[in-house]
Structure 1
């Protein structure tokens, strides 16, 4: 086509459409259904969850007492 592009804005990645209110540097957590769709799109199997929300990971550091 021979056109010059001055700026590209990613609005989609596979089956995920980025919401317009999500600005540069921000992040959002994907719900389980969307994660399953992404894994299906990438032809990957889900991995077992290591821990549930609110339960600290056994490898997380505890505060030191002084």
Structure 2
């Protein structure tokens, strides 16, 4: 939804733009187990997260203006 809202705003503000394309890395973060330190940080208590090393692909979106046709 956020990518669509951003693209829609660009298309509304700049008539010369016909298409907006995004390719964003899909990065995951997992709760870090702090139980060895006597702290709860899993499930509902999670506040500290660890990113994985590489993105898990990309999230893409293309939003275009309606075609005006040739008539």
Highest CA radius of gyration, 1 or 2? 2
Q: Do these two structures clear the TM 0.5 threshold for a shared fold by scoring above it?
A: no
Higher strand share: 2
- Which one has a larger percent helix, Structure 1 or Structure 2? 2
TM-score by length of 2: 0.23
